[in-house]
């Protein structure tokens, strides 16, 4: 990677269901940075993408079931939101007031990614149905329309354990290696790295989210230029199983034996 890079916020109008995100972002990239170039990285906000893909759910159309009613009462939620969260989750792990902690698509996240922020009035927006496929489709469309070989990342905001505030995480990726294995390299003092893997896609998304914002910025895309990340044909983000995760291992260990410290490591 290079010692410096540039990020361009891609401002657009409000994204609506059925919009062509590739066309909209290509126009925004032309205005902001003279269009896409080989090696550029395009980061796209998941809420805008999911809205364009028709994923918004009108809460008036949702009838909560008994489990949704129970969880909503327990965690002080709108039962209709709880119902949408249940539908979007692979598994409900727990919760706090206002949020359910869920497993979805190999990750742990609040409310399965279902969000009312930046959603049409009276709606919530789940995550894109297949973020990797969306990233690959947009990448292919940019190549076909502009001739530029780029990487595409789908961004989400997440909280982190024991920290205030949100940071960026990539939930979809096409065109770059999302997680780079650093094992075998030497540290500053010549010791071999044994477990380190660098979350390149997540770090890029975090930088992009400084421009995207969380409120009314109307910046659903960011163009990253000059980082020097190799462009590949890879699609997807390497993950780990729940039983290999430090946080999940600790939670499960404490539930079964509060006095036992977990020996799992998150690589």
pLDDT, tens digit (0-9, with 9 covering 90-100), for 162-220: 788 888 899 999 999 998 877 767 777 777 766 677 889 999 999 999 999 776 778 99
Reading the block at residue 176, the tokens are 């770059």
Instruction: State how far the Cα of 264 lies from the Cα of 250, in Å rounded to an integer.
Output: 8
Contact partners, residue 29, CB within 8 Å, separation at least 6? 8, 10, 35, 36, 42, 221, 223
Q: Which of 32, 44, 24 is nearest to 6 (CA)?
A: 32
What angle is formed at CA 13 by the lines to CA 7 and CA 19, rounded to 5 degrees?
100
Segments in 63-220 forming alpha helices (H) = 66-75, 79-88, 131-146, 200-212
pLDDT, tens digit (0-9, with 9 covering 90-100), for 236-263: 998 777 677 766 666 555 555 544 444 4
Q: What percent of the chain has pLDDT over 70?
A: 88
What pLDDT is stored for residue 133 in this prediction? 97
CA atoms within 13 A on the CB side of 176: 30
Instruction: State how far the Cα of 172 lies from the Cα of 190, in Å rounded to an integer.
Output: 35
Instruction: State how far the Cα of 153 lies from the Cα of 135, in Å rounded to an integer.
Output: 6
pLDDT, tens digit (0-9, with 9 covering 90-100), for 98-153: 999 998 887 888 999 998 888 888 999 999 999 999 999 999 999 999 999 999 99
Question: Where is 32: in which H helix or E strand?
Answer: helix 21-33
pTM of the model: 0.87
The DSSP annotation for 13-29 comes to S---TT--HHHHHHHHH
How far is CA 232 from each of CA 62, 136, 171, rounded to the nearest angstrom? 42, 11, 18
């Amino acid at each position: 990677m290079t010692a410096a890079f540039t990020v361009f916020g891609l401002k657009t109008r409000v994204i609506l269901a059925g919009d062509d995100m590739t066309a909209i972002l290509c126009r925004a990239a032309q205005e902001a940075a003279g269009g896409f170039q080989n090696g550029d990285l395009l980061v796209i906000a998941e809420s805008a993408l999911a809205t364009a893909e028709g994923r918004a759910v009108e809460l008036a159309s949702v009838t909560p079931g008994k489990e949704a009613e129970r969880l909503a009462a327990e965690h002080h939620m709108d039962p209709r939101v709880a119902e949408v969260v249940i539908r979007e989750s692979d598994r409900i792990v727990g919760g706090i007031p206002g949020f359910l902690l869920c497993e979805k698509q190999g990750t742990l996240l609040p409310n399965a990614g279902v969000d009312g922020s930046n959603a049409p009035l009276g709606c919530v927006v789940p995550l894109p149905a297949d973020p990797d496929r969306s990233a690959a489709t947009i990448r292919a469309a940019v190549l076909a329309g502009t001739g530029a070989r780029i990487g595409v990342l789908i961004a989400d905001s997440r909280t982190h354990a024991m920290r205030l505030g949100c940071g960026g995480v990539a939930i979809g990726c096409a065109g770059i290696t999302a997680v780079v294995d650093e094992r075998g390299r030497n540290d500053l003092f010549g010791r071999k790295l044994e477990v380190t893997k660098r979350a390149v896609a997540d770090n890029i998304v975090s930088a992009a989210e400084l421009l995207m914002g969380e409120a009314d910025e109307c910046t659903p895309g960011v163009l990253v230029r000059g980082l020097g990340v190799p462009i590949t044909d890879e699609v997807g983000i390497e993950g780990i199983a729940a039983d290999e995760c430090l946080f999940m291992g600790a939670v499960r260990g404490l539930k079964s034996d509060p006095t036992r410290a977990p020996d799992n490591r998150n690589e």
